[in-house]
Protein backbone atom coordinates (compact mmCIF):
# COMPACT_ATOMS: atom_id res chain seq x y z
CA UNK A 1 0.00 0.00 0.00
CA UNK A 2 1.40 3.43 -0.91
CA UNK A 3 1.92 6.08 1.75
CA UNK A 4 -0.73 8.69 2.37
CA UNK A 5 0.77 11.44 0.20
CA UNK A 6 0.44 9.15 -2.82
CA UNK A 7 -3.03 7.95 -1.84
CA UNK A 8 -4.49 11.38 -1.08
CA UNK A 9 -2.25 13.52 -3.28
CA UNK A 10 -5.11 15.58 -4.74
CA UNK A 11 -6.34 16.52 -1.28
CA UNK A 12 -2.96 17.53 0.12
CA UNK A 13 -0.76 20.59 -0.50
CA UNK A 14 1.78 18.78 -2.70
CA UNK A 15 2.69 18.85 -6.36
CA UNK A 16 4.82 16.68 -8.58
CA UNK A 17 7.96 18.56 -7.50
CA UNK A 18 7.47 17.70 -3.82
CA UNK A 19 9.97 15.04 -2.76
CA UNK A 20 7.92 12.37 -0.99
CA UNK A 21 9.53 11.22 2.24
CA UNK A 22 7.41 8.26 3.17
CA UNK A 23 7.52 5.10 5.25
CA UNK A 24 4.22 3.93 3.77
CA UNK A 25 2.30 5.34 6.73
CA UNK A 26 -1.47 5.27 7.12
CA UNK A 27 -3.80 2.48 5.94
CA UNK A 28 -4.18 1.50 9.58
CA UNK A 29 -6.91 -0.99 10.45
CA UNK A 30 -10.37 0.00 11.64
CA UNK A 31 -10.91 -2.85 14.06
CA UNK A 32 -14.41 -3.79 15.26
CA UNK A 33 -14.64 -3.80 19.07
CA UNK A 34 -17.38 -6.34 19.87
CA UNK A 35 -17.03 -6.12 23.66
CA UNK A 36 -17.44 -2.34 23.62
CA UNK A 37 -20.30 -2.60 21.13
CA UNK A 38 -22.03 -5.00 23.52
CA UNK A 39 -21.61 -2.57 26.42
CA UNK A 40 -23.31 0.18 24.39
CA UNK A 41 -26.04 -2.20 23.25
CA UNK A 42 -28.91 -1.52 20.85
CA UNK A 43 -26.88 -2.67 17.85
CA UNK A 44 -24.40 0.16 18.12
CA UNK A 45 -20.99 -0.66 16.58
CA UNK A 46 -17.71 0.55 18.01
CA UNK A 47 -14.58 0.57 15.83
CA UNK A 48 -10.99 1.21 16.88
CA UNK A 49 -8.83 3.15 14.43
CA UNK A 50 -5.55 1.62 15.52
CA UNK A 51 -2.94 4.23 14.74
CA UNK A 52 -0.36 2.25 16.68
CA UNK A 53 0.18 0.29 13.47
CA UNK A 54 1.84 3.17 11.67
CA UNK A 55 5.59 2.82 10.91
CA UNK A 56 6.75 4.51 14.12
CA UNK A 57 3.70 3.16 15.96
CA UNK A 58 1.67 6.35 16.37
CA UNK A 59 -0.57 8.69 14.36
CA UNK A 60 2.25 11.24 14.22
CA UNK A 61 3.59 9.60 11.05
CA UNK A 62 0.66 11.03 9.08
CA UNK A 63 1.66 14.59 9.81
CA UNK A 64 5.36 13.90 9.72
CA UNK A 65 5.48 12.48 6.19
CA UNK A 66 4.01 15.73 4.90
CA UNK A 67 5.93 18.09 7.21
CA UNK A 68 9.29 16.51 6.33
CA UNK A 69 8.47 16.21 2.61
CA UNK A 70 7.55 19.92 2.51
CA UNK A 71 10.67 20.78 4.52
CA UNK A 72 12.76 19.00 1.89
CA UNK A 73 11.02 20.94 -0.88
CA UNK A 74 12.60 24.11 0.42
CA UNK A 75 16.04 24.47 1.91
CA UNK A 76 16.16 22.49 5.15
CA UNK A 77 18.97 22.73 7.72
CA UNK A 78 17.25 20.25 9.95
CA UNK A 79 14.05 19.65 11.83
CA UNK A 80 13.19 20.27 15.48
CA UNK A 81 10.31 19.48 17.80
CA UNK A 82 9.28 19.48 21.42
CA UNK A 83 7.59 16.26 22.35
CA UNK A 84 6.03 14.05 24.97
CA UNK A 85 7.61 11.26 22.92
CA UNK A 86 5.69 10.23 19.84
CA UNK A 87 6.31 13.34 17.76
CA UNK A 88 10.02 12.93 18.48
CA UNK A 89 9.97 9.28 17.38
CA UNK A 90 8.26 10.19 14.11
CA UNK A 91 10.43 13.26 13.48
CA UNK A 92 13.58 11.21 14.10
CA UNK A 93 12.52 8.45 11.69
CA UNK A 94 11.43 10.74 8.84
CA UNK A 95 14.48 12.97 9.28
CA UNK A 96 16.70 9.89 9.10
CA UNK A 97 14.91 8.87 5.92
CA UNK A 98 15.38 12.36 4.46
CA UNK A 99 19.00 12.55 5.59
CA UNK A 100 18.66 15.74 7.63
CA UNK A 101 19.55 16.41 11.28
CA UNK A 102 16.78 16.14 13.86
CA UNK A 103 16.68 17.79 17.28
CA UNK A 104 14.15 16.73 19.88
CA UNK A 105 13.49 18.55 23.15
CA UNK A 106 11.75 16.45 25.78
CA UNK A 107 10.53 16.81 29.36
CA UNK A 108 13.21 14.88 31.29
CA UNK A 109 11.97 11.70 32.94
CA UNK A 110 8.47 11.98 31.44
CA UNK A 111 8.86 10.19 28.12
CA UNK A 112 8.00 6.50 27.79
CA UNK A 113 11.01 4.23 27.19
CA UNK A 114 10.00 3.00 23.74
CA UNK A 115 9.66 6.52 22.37
CA UNK A 116 13.00 7.63 23.76
CA UNK A 117 14.59 4.53 22.26
CA UNK A 118 13.12 5.37 18.86
CA UNK A 119 14.46 8.93 18.84
CA UNK A 120 17.91 7.70 19.85
CA UNK A 121 18.05 4.78 17.44
CA UNK A 122 17.09 6.99 14.51
CA UNK A 123 19.98 9.26 15.39
CA UNK A 124 18.16 12.34 16.63
CA UNK A 125 19.93 14.76 18.92
CA UNK A 126 17.90 14.17 22.08
CA UNK A 127 17.81 17.08 24.53
CA UNK A 128 15.90 16.47 27.77
CA UNK A 129 15.01 19.66 29.68
CA UNK A 130 14.20 20.28 33.30
CA UNK A 131 10.73 21.41 32.41
CA UNK A 132 7.48 20.17 30.93
CA UNK A 133 6.22 19.88 27.35
CA UNK A 134 4.74 23.38 27.29
CA UNK A 135 8.11 24.89 28.22
CA UNK A 136 9.88 22.70 25.66
CA UNK A 137 7.49 23.88 22.96
CA UNK A 138 8.12 27.55 23.77
CA UNK A 139 11.86 26.95 23.50
CA UNK A 140 11.78 25.11 20.18
CA UNK A 141 9.46 27.66 18.57
CA UNK A 142 11.96 30.36 19.44
CA UNK A 143 15.10 28.52 18.40
CA UNK A 144 13.55 27.26 15.15
CA UNK A 145 12.77 30.84 14.18
CA UNK A 146 16.18 32.18 15.20
CA UNK A 147 18.26 29.38 13.67
CA UNK A 148 16.23 28.66 10.55
CA UNK A 149 15.49 25.06 11.53
CA UNK A 150 12.13 23.63 10.47
CA UNK A 151 9.67 23.24 13.32
CA UNK A 152 7.75 19.97 12.98
CA UNK A 153 5.36 20.34 15.88
CA UNK A 154 1.73 20.74 14.87
CA UNK A 155 2.20 24.52 14.68
CA UNK A 156 3.66 23.51 11.33
CA UNK A 157 0.50 23.56 9.18
CA UNK A 158 1.58 20.52 7.14
CA UNK A 159 1.36 18.34 10.25
CA UNK A 160 -2.37 19.03 10.57
CA UNK A 161 -2.87 18.60 6.82
CA UNK A 162 -1.26 15.17 6.89
CA UNK A 163 -3.13 14.07 9.98
CA UNK A 164 -6.53 14.90 8.49
CA UNK A 165 -6.16 11.79 6.29
CA UNK A 166 -7.25 9.63 9.21
CA UNK A 167 -10.82 10.87 8.64
CA UNK A 168 -10.57 10.03 4.92
CA UNK A 169 -9.49 6.49 5.73
CA UNK A 170 -12.30 5.97 8.24
CA UNK A 171 -14.92 7.16 5.76
CA UNK A 172 -13.34 5.16 2.94
CA UNK A 173 -13.51 2.02 5.13
CA UNK A 174 -17.05 2.53 6.46
CA UNK A 175 -18.54 3.93 3.26
CA UNK A 176 -19.99 6.79 5.33
CA UNK A 177 -19.08 8.99 8.28
CA UNK A 178 -19.45 7.47 11.74
CA UNK A 179 -22.04 9.09 14.03
CA UNK A 180 -19.54 9.79 16.76
CA UNK A 181 -15.78 10.01 17.06
CA UNK A 182 -13.83 9.90 20.35
CA UNK A 183 -10.14 10.77 20.57
CA UNK A 184 -7.55 11.77 23.15
CA UNK A 185 -6.54 15.43 23.30
CA UNK A 186 -3.11 16.72 24.30
CA UNK A 187 -1.71 19.53 22.20
CA UNK A 188 -5.04 19.35 20.30
CA UNK A 189 -3.56 18.99 16.81
CA UNK A 190 -5.20 15.65 16.16
CA UNK A 191 -8.77 16.65 16.95
CA UNK A 192 -8.24 19.75 14.79
CA UNK A 193 -6.90 17.61 11.95
CA UNK A 194 -9.48 14.83 12.17
CA UNK A 195 -12.31 17.34 12.10
CA UNK A 196 -10.71 19.08 9.13
CA UNK A 197 -10.67 15.77 7.25
CA UNK A 198 -14.36 15.11 7.90
CA UNK A 199 -15.23 18.68 6.94
CA UNK A 200 -13.32 18.40 3.69
CA UNK A 201 -15.10 15.19 2.73
CA UNK A 202 -18.38 16.85 3.67
CA UNK A 203 -17.68 19.93 1.57
CA UNK A 204 -16.70 17.72 -1.37
CA UNK A 205 -19.95 15.79 -1.00
CA UNK A 206 -18.21 12.50 -0.20
CA UNK A 207 -20.22 12.31 3.03
CA UNK A 208 -23.58 13.86 3.81
CA UNK A 209 -23.13 14.17 7.55
CA UNK A 210 -20.13 14.51 9.83
CA UNK A 211 -19.62 12.87 13.21
CA UNK A 212 -19.91 14.52 16.60
CA UNK A 213 -16.37 14.92 17.92
CA UNK A 214 -15.67 14.01 21.54
CA UNK A 215 -12.24 15.04 22.83
CA UNK A 216 -10.88 13.40 25.97
CA UNK A 217 -8.28 15.05 28.17
CA UNK A 218 -6.63 13.51 31.23
CA UNK A 219 -8.16 14.99 34.39
CA UNK A 220 -4.81 16.31 35.63
CA UNK A 221 -4.06 17.88 32.25
CA UNK A 222 -7.42 19.23 31.11
CA UNK A 223 -6.91 22.92 30.26
CA UNK A 224 -9.62 23.03 27.59
CA UNK A 225 -12.16 21.44 29.92
CA UNK A 226 -11.35 24.01 32.61
CA UNK A 227 -11.04 26.88 30.15
CA UNK A 228 -7.60 27.89 31.35
CA UNK A 229 -3.99 26.69 31.02
CA UNK A 230 -2.73 24.24 33.65
CA UNK A 231 0.69 25.18 34.94
CA UNK A 232 1.75 21.77 36.23
CA UNK A 233 -0.15 19.11 34.29
CA UNK A 234 0.07 15.57 35.67
CA UNK A 235 -1.21 12.23 34.39
CA UNK A 236 0.04 8.69 33.94
CA UNK A 237 -0.81 9.20 30.25
CA UNK A 238 2.46 11.07 29.66
CA UNK A 239 1.74 11.54 25.93
CA UNK A 240 -1.06 14.00 26.79
CA UNK A 241 0.58 15.64 29.81
CA UNK A 242 0.08 19.11 28.34
CA UNK A 243 -1.18 22.24 30.07
CA UNK A 244 -1.46 24.78 27.26
CA UNK A 245 -2.35 23.17 23.92
CA UNK A 246 -1.09 24.86 20.75
CA UNK A 247 -4.25 23.99 18.80
CA UNK A 248 -6.68 24.98 21.57
CA UNK A 249 -8.75 27.02 19.12
CA UNK A 250 -8.89 24.18 16.60
CA UNK A 251 -10.22 21.85 19.29
CA UNK A 252 -12.96 24.21 20.43
CA UNK A 253 -13.99 24.84 16.82
CA UNK A 254 -14.19 21.09 16.13
CA UNK A 255 -16.33 20.55 19.19
CA UNK A 256 -18.61 23.47 18.50
CA UNK A 257 -19.10 22.81 14.79
CA UNK A 258 -19.68 19.10 15.29
CA UNK A 259 -21.89 19.55 18.38
CA UNK A 260 -19.50 17.40 20.37
CA UNK A 261 -17.89 17.87 23.73
CA UNK A 262 -14.55 17.91 25.50
CA UNK A 263 -14.38 16.05 28.78
CA UNK A 264 -11.85 14.93 31.37
CA UNK A 265 -11.15 11.32 32.27
CA UNK A 266 -9.29 10.27 35.40
CA UNK A 267 -6.11 8.19 35.35
CA UNK A 268 -8.16 5.33 36.85
CA UNK A 269 -10.65 5.52 33.98
CA UNK A 270 -7.81 5.63 31.45
CA UNK A 271 -6.18 2.53 32.97
CA UNK A 272 -9.50 0.72 33.10
CA UNK A 273 -10.06 1.38 29.38
CA UNK A 274 -6.43 0.40 28.63
CA UNK A 275 -6.95 -2.92 30.44
CA UNK A 276 -10.32 -3.49 28.75
CA UNK A 277 -8.84 -2.97 25.29
CA UNK A 278 -5.97 -5.38 25.94
CA UNK A 279 -7.96 -8.08 27.75
CA UNK A 280 -11.31 -7.96 25.95
CA UNK A 281 -10.61 -6.64 22.46
CA UNK A 282 -7.07 -7.96 22.02
CA UNK A 283 -5.74 -4.51 21.18
CA UNK A 284 -2.70 -3.13 22.99
CA UNK A 285 -2.49 0.65 22.89
CA UNK A 286 -0.62 3.13 25.03
CA UNK A 287 -2.36 4.73 28.05
CA UNK A 288 -3.01 8.12 26.39
CA UNK A 289 -4.74 6.33 23.52
CA UNK A 290 -7.12 4.63 25.91
CA UNK A 291 -8.41 8.07 26.97
CA UNK A 292 -10.73 7.92 23.94
CA UNK A 293 -12.34 4.69 25.13
CA UNK A 294 -12.37 5.97 28.72
CA UNK A 295 -14.35 8.97 27.48
CA UNK A 296 -16.77 6.70 25.65
CA UNK A 297 -17.33 4.50 28.70
CA UNK A 298 -17.73 7.49 31.03
CA UNK A 299 -20.36 9.00 28.75
CA UNK A 300 -22.19 5.71 28.51
CA UNK A 301 -22.19 5.27 32.30
CA UNK A 302 -23.44 8.80 32.80
CA UNK A 303 -26.40 7.89 30.59
CA UNK A 304 -25.52 10.59 28.05
CA UNK A 305 -26.30 10.13 24.40
CA UNK A 306 -23.51 8.66 22.30
CA UNK A 307 -25.18 7.79 19.03
CA UNK A 308 -28.57 6.59 17.84
CA UNK A 309 -29.59 2.96 18.00
CA UNK A 310 -27.68 1.04 15.31
CA UNK A 311 -25.16 3.88 15.02
CA UNK A 312 -21.39 3.78 14.54
CA UNK A 313 -18.75 5.02 16.97
CA UNK A 314 -15.05 5.33 16.16
CA UNK A 315 -12.37 5.67 18.84
CA UNK A 316 -8.88 6.65 17.73
CA UNK A 317 -6.17 4.62 19.44
CA UNK A 318 -3.29 6.97 18.84
CA UNK A 319 -0.26 4.88 19.76
CA UNK A 320 0.96 1.32 20.35
CA UNK A 321 1.13 -0.24 23.81
CA UNK A 322 4.73 -1.32 23.32
CA UNK A 323 5.75 2.33 23.41
CA UNK A 324 5.39 2.20 27.18
CA UNK A 325 6.42 -1.24 28.45
CA UNK A 326 6.95 -0.02 32.00
CA UNK A 327 3.33 1.07 32.31
CA UNK A 328 2.22 -2.23 30.80
CA UNK A 329 3.87 -4.36 33.45
CA UNK A 330 3.42 -1.97 36.38
CA UNK A 331 1.55 -3.78 39.13
CA UNK A 332 1.74 -7.14 37.35
CA UNK A 333 3.76 -10.06 38.67
CA UNK A 334 6.23 -11.63 36.30
CA UNK A 335 6.13 -15.28 37.39
CA UNK A 336 9.38 -16.91 38.55
CA UNK A 337 10.67 -19.79 36.39
CA UNK A 338 9.76 -23.41 37.03
CA UNK A 339 12.14 -26.32 36.43
CA UNK A 340 12.10 -27.66 32.92
CA UNK A 341 10.03 -30.80 33.28
CA UNK A 342 6.47 -31.71 32.37
CA UNK A 343 5.25 -32.11 35.93
CA UNK A 344 6.37 -28.63 36.95
CA UNK A 345 4.86 -27.19 33.79
CA UNK A 346 1.57 -29.00 34.39
CA UNK A 347 1.49 -27.81 37.97
CA UNK A 348 2.11 -24.19 36.96
CA UNK A 349 -0.56 -24.45 34.28
CA UNK A 350 -2.97 -25.47 36.99
CA UNK A 351 -3.89 -28.73 35.22
**Residues engaged in binding ligand F0G (CB under 6 A):** 58, 60, 83-87, 184-190, 239-240, 286, 288-289, 318-319
Taking the least distance from each CB to ligand F0G, the nearer of 100 and 188 is: 188
- The three-class DSSP label of residue 152 is coil
Write down the least CB distance from residue 223 to ligand F0G, Å. Answer: 11
Nearest to 217 by CA among 207, 209, 203, 228: 228
- CA 86/CA 54 separation, integer angstroms: 11
Helices (H) and strands (E) in the chain, counts: 15, 10
- CA 212/CA 272 separation, integer angstroms: 24
Write down the least CB distance from residue 350 to ligand F0G, Å. Answer: 36
**With contact defined as beta carbons under 8 Å apart, do 166 and 62 qualify?**
yes
Beta-carbon contacts of 154 under 8 Å, excluding residues fewer than 6 positions away, are: 63, 87, 160, 163, 187, 189, 192, 193, 246, 247
Taking the least distance from each CB to ligand F0G, the nearer of 178 and 243 is: 243
Taking the least distance from each CB to ligand F0G, the nearer of 55 and 184 is: 184
Write down the least CB distance from residue 99 to ligand F0G, Å. Answer: 23
Write down the least CB distance from residue 91 to ligand F0G, Å. Answer: 9
Write down the least CB distance from residue 288 to ligand F0G, Å. Answer: 4
Write down the least CB distance from residue 281 to ligand F0G, Å. Answer: 17
Taking the least distance from each CB to ligand F0G, the nearer of 100 and 221 is: 221
Helices (H), 149-233: 157-163, 165-174, 189-203, 223-226
Taking the least distance from each CB to ligand F0G, the nearer of 69 and 153 is: 153
Nearest to 43 by CA among 325, 313, 314: 313
Taking the least distance from each CB to ligand F0G, the nearer of 270 and 288 is: 288
Amino acid sequence: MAGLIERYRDRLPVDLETPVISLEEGSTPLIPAPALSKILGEERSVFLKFEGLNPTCSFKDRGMTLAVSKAMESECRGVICASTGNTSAAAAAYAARAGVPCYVVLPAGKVAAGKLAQALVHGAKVIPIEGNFDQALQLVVEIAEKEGITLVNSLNPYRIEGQKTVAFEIVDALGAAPNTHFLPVGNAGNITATWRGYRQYHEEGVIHSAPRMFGCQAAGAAPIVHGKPIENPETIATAIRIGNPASWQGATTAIKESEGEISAVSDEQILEAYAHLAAKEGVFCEPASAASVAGLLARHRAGLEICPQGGVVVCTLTGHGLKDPERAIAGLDIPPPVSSDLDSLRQRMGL
